[in-house]
Amino acid sequence: MAERKVSRRTALIAGGLTAGALVAGGVPLLRATLAAPADGPALPRHPTLPLHAGEDGVLRGELVATASGNSVRYNGSAPGPLVKLREGDRVRLGFRNDLDADSSLHLHGLPLAPAVDAPLTHLSPGATSTQEFAVPEGVAGTYWYHPHAHGDVERQLLAGLAGPIVVTGATDELLKACDDRLLMFTRTGRDISVNGTVRPVFVPTSGRTRLRLLNATAGDHLLVGVLRSGDRTPVHLVATDGGFVAEPVELTEVLLAPGERAEVLVDTTVAGRLELTALPYSVYGEGGAASTAFRLAALHVPAGLPPVALPARLRDVEALDEAKAARRRRIVFGGTGTDHFTLDGKTFDHHRVDLEARLDTLEVWDVVNDHTTDHPFHLHSYSFQVLSRDGAPEPRRAWRDTVNVPPGGTVTIAVPFRGEPGRTVYHCHIASHEDLGMMGVLEVVR
């Protein structure tokens, strides 16, 4: 048995797993040459943005982007404060740009009207904006906010401008016995931070822990798994980008492309150490050079946490009927070299409308990656569902705003254009690609 374990670990070394997992597994292979990085501080919780209800019942709050040296902050913290909302809330969110560069506030993933999201509007230094909206029903989940000033998004993200949004709703009651943790990933220099700290640790307080995983990096794909003694332990996916899936789904890894979120439940009834790990992943397709695994965070599970039952059902996720699509389109990621990124052969021009769609119709889009690396496709204002990947039907229905498209791959999505018409954007969510023009303009008309 021990022999088999050692040989499996040896295979993992070949696969690029770091020594951290090896030492954690109690097998001191390579300890002399590769020390496991030490645990960081306790996982910080995000400060919550104060929201005050006016006499009209509308919740008011304000985010201010300020610079200090080379860093930029929302309301003085990086990540920015947690915007905590509930389905049905009416909100008036103010934003002030106190940077010396154009910026803006984009509420990533919330299906807001194009006029409210205003992704083509840049706010000059000193300018303000107000976004007023009602939080739609059925969107309870994990979202985030970040700047959308084309050309400078990557710099501002890397410098600290990003913050989390959590929307709660009735379905959350099914998970109220879980320890609910928000883990927001950003890149700080050579490390990936979690809530602003590197390799934090936390002690779960319930026998089941809900991890809200938020990839707020500017361009890092994170294939996330949970390891116990170096072995993957299954988790249950309960939510994707646009909120809950129909029922918990057992998985051993979750890919989070830049911008993407997923929520998983982890069994935390067995005392010991669990390591939330970024597993080796290749953005160059199958067989391409993969990243090396590294630890994101550790859970120190105490003894005696009572089990928490897994809900059998979470909610109904509407089925979209592909046969009713008014239109089928093909959208192609492309480009040449390392600094030329296109959508349908063109780079972004905010004066040009690239696609026109009709409100209250359903469209099916084949999003094709004709380039050499992964590109996460992101659409503003209109949530979509993945129908198939390279022709293989998607195993479950889920609402999304971001989906990864590997090189040579095709992801087919169904987009119902509901709510308000207007002019909005779709783009690659690797911020440098978007800044270099991998973005198009969509106009939804009545």
Give contact residues for Cu ion (rule: CB under 5 A): 375, 428, 430, 433
What tokens appear for 237 in the block?
């996916």
Q: Would you say 71 or 336 has its CB closer to Cu ion?
A: 336
Strands (E), 88-228: 90-98, 106-108, 128-134, 141-146, 163-168, 179-188, 191-194, 197-198, 201-202, 208-215, 222-228
Closest alpha carbon to 85 in 33, 121, 137: 137
**Residue 284 · residue 407 · CB < 8 Å:** yes
Q: Would you say 407 or 421 has its CB closer to Cu ion?
A: 407
To Cu ion, the closest distance from the beta carbon of 335 in angstroms equals 8
To Cu ion, the closest distance from the beta carbon of 440 in angstroms equals 13
Cβ atoms < 10 Å from Cβ of 249 = 15
**Residue 264 · residue 209 · CB < 8 Å:** no
Q: Would you say 75 or 372 has its CB closer to Cu ion?
A: 372
**Residue 59 · residue 91 · CB < 8 Å:** yes
Q: Would you say 148 or 433 has its CB closer to Cu ion?
A: 433
To Cu ion, the closest distance from the beta carbon of 405 in angstroms equals 9
Distance CA 236, CA 247 (A): 9
With tokens 């597993």, the residue in question is 279
Q: Would you say 208 or 375 has its CB closer to Cu ion?
A: 375
To Cu ion, the closest distance from the beta carbon of 432 in angstroms equals 8
Strands (E), 206-258: 208-215, 222-228, 231-233, 235-240, 243-251, 254-256
Q: Would you say 83 or 430 has its CB closer to Cu ion?
A: 430
Closest alpha carbon to 41 in 312, 392, 360, 297: 297
Q: Which residues, in sequence order, are bridge partners of residue 379?
A: 426
Q: Would you say 428 or 444 has its CB closer to Cu ion?
A: 428
To Cu ion, the closest distance from the beta carbon of 433 in angstroms equals 3
H helices of 60-144, in order, are 114-117
Q: 49 CB contacts (<8 Å, ≥6 apart)?
A: 61, 63, 75, 80, 81, 82, 83, 84, 163
To Cu ion, the closest distance from the beta carbon of 326 in angstroms equals 28
Q: 47 CB contacts (<8 Å, ≥6 apart)?
A: 77, 81, 82
To Cu ion, the closest distance from the beta carbon of 336 in angstroms equals 14
Task: Name the DSSP class of 119.
Answer: T
Cβ atoms < 10 Å from Cβ of 36 = 17
**Residue 104 · residue 123 · CB < 8 Å:** yes
To Cu ion, the closest distance from the beta carbon of 120 in angstroms equals 19
To Cu ion, the closest distance from the beta carbon of 259 in angstroms equals 11
What tokens appear for 164 in the block?
């989390």
Q: Would you say 252 or 336 has its CB closer to Cu ion?
A: 336
Q: Would you say 153 or 428 has its CB closer to Cu ion?
A: 428
Cβ atoms < 10 Å from Cβ of 40 = 17
To Cu ion, the closest distance from the beta carbon of 400 in angstroms equals 17
Q: 4 CB contacts (<8 Å, ≥6 apart)?
A: none
Distance CA 245, CA 27 (A): 38
**Residue 177 · residue 308 · CB < 8 Å:** yes
To Cu ion, the closest distance from the beta carbon of 97 in angstroms equals 26
Q: Would you say 108 or 210 has its CB closer to Cu ion?
A: 108
Q: Would you say 123 or 428 has its CB closer to Cu ion?
A: 428
How many residues are given for the chain?
Answer: 446
